């Protein structure tokens, strides 16, 4: 763990700088550049609103509901999707110089977090248009995001390790992520949208659903999220991160030889 902290300090600038340059490169390589980061969730929101509005009874602020959930979901989705192929994607660097592999993951997470923040450009107008009453509970979004960050990091470090050795893991993870999206309450309200019992079940055993539901609660209903469950998942996430970091330190030696 000591090594983790000293490496984090040592490579901190690198993580931030590489997130910045990757962003710039992405902008330079597409025509609509940063507008994509807003447009993609925005168009998705419109599609989902059309499809799910009649399926799940909900109030008028449904677009806010979906858009905010998608912002969190996309962060998780991108981080996990990237972590599986991380070592191979950074082959050029990994084979030429030593870098703790989780630093590359953190750099990518900064990038995703920034893209998520760009989404506020749409979210804030939506909140105003749909006259959502914001209360002080909205501040809980920050700790909620932190939990999501740690959970994603934990999953990411572990998947990063197996992604090196198992070629087709990225397909499997892609499908799992797709399934998970439908089980995470992005489109429906966990409390009211599902038959009795299912919502509580998903909200307890799926941390992403728990966090996204928490987000919806604090943003739209002014109600605090399910604290005990969140607390337990925070502890689990931290444990997963520690395990992930241990695995990486132990085996990163052999990554270069495999790719």
Partner 1 sequence: MAEKALIIDDICINYRNIRHMSIHQSILKKDEVEGPDIYEAVKHVSFDVEKGEILGIIGRNGSGKSTMLRAIAGIFRPDTGKIDTLGHRISLMSIGVGFKPDITGRENIMTSGMLLGFKPEYIKERMPEIVEFSELGEFIDKPVRTYSSGMYSKLSFSITAIMDPDVMLVDEVLSVGDVSFREKSFNKMQELINDADRTVLIVSHDLSTLSNMCNRVLWLHDGEMKMIGETNEVLEKYKEFMKQ
The reply on whether position 253 binds partner 1 by CB under 8 A is yes
Give me Rg for the CA atoms of the chain.
19
The answer to whether the CB of 224 falls within 8 A of the CB of 73 is: no
Residues with Cβ within 8 Å of 153's Cβ and at least 6 positions away in sequence, in order, are 79, 102, 105, 106, 109, 237, 241, 244
CB of residue 251 vs partner 1: minimum separation in angstroms? 11
The reply on whether position 256 binds partner 1 by CB under 8 A is yes
Q: How many residues bind partner 1 (CB under 8 A)?
A: 33
> Which residue number, 93 or 183, has a Cβ lying nearer to partner 1?
93
The reply on whether position 10 binds partner 1 by CB under 8 A is yes
**Candidates 24-32, 188-196, 207-215, 219-227; binding stretch for partner 1 (CB under 8 A):** 24-32
Tokens matching residue 221: 């209903």
The reply on whether position 11 binds partner 1 by CB under 8 A is yes
From 128, 166, 224, 227, residue interacting with partner 1 (rule: CB under 8 A): 166
d(CA 95, CA 90): 9
From 7, 8, 14, 130, residue interacting with partner 1 (rule: CB under 8 A): 14
The answer to whether the CB of 25 falls within 8 A of the CB of 33 is: no
Q: Which helix (H) or strand (E) holds 63?
A: helix 62-84
**In the complex, which residues of this chain contact partner 1 (CB under 8 A)?**
10-11, 13-14, 17-18, 21-22, 24-26, 28-29, 90, 92-99, 165-169, 172, 253-254, 256-258
């Amino acid at each position: 763990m000591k090594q983790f902290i000293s490496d984090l300090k040592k490579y901190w600038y690198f993580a931030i700088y590489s997130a910045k340059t990757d962003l710039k490169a992405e902008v330079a390589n597409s025509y609509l550049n940063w507008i994509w980061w807003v447009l993609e969730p925005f168009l998705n929101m419109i599609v989902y609103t059309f499809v799910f509005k009649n399926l799940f009874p909900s109030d008028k602020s449904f677009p806010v509901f979906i858009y905010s959930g998608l912002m969190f979901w996309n962060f998780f989705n991108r981080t996990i999707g990237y972590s599986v192929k991380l070592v191979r994607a950074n082959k050029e660097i990994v084979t030429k110089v030593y870098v703790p592999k989780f630093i590359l993951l953190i750099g990518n997470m900064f990038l995703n977090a920034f893209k998520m923040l760009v989404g506020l450009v749409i979210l804030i107008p939506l909140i105003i248009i749909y006259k959502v009453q914001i209360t002080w509970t909205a501040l809980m979004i920050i700790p909620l995001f932190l939990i999501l960050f740690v959970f994603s990091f934990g999953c990411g470090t572990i998947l990063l390790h197996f992604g090196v050795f198992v070629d087709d893991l990225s397909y499997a993870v892609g499908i799992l992520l797709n399934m998970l999206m439908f089980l995470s309450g992005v489109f429906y309200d966990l409390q009211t949208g599902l038959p009795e019992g299912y919502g509580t079940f998903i909200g307890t055993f799926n941390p992403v659903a728990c966090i996204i539901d928490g987000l919806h609660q604090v943003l739209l209903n002014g109600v605090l999220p399910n604290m005990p469950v969140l607390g337990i998942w925070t502890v689990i996430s931290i444990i997963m991160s520690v395990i992930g970091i241990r695995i990486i330190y132990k085996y990163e030696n052999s990554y270069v030889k495999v790719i």
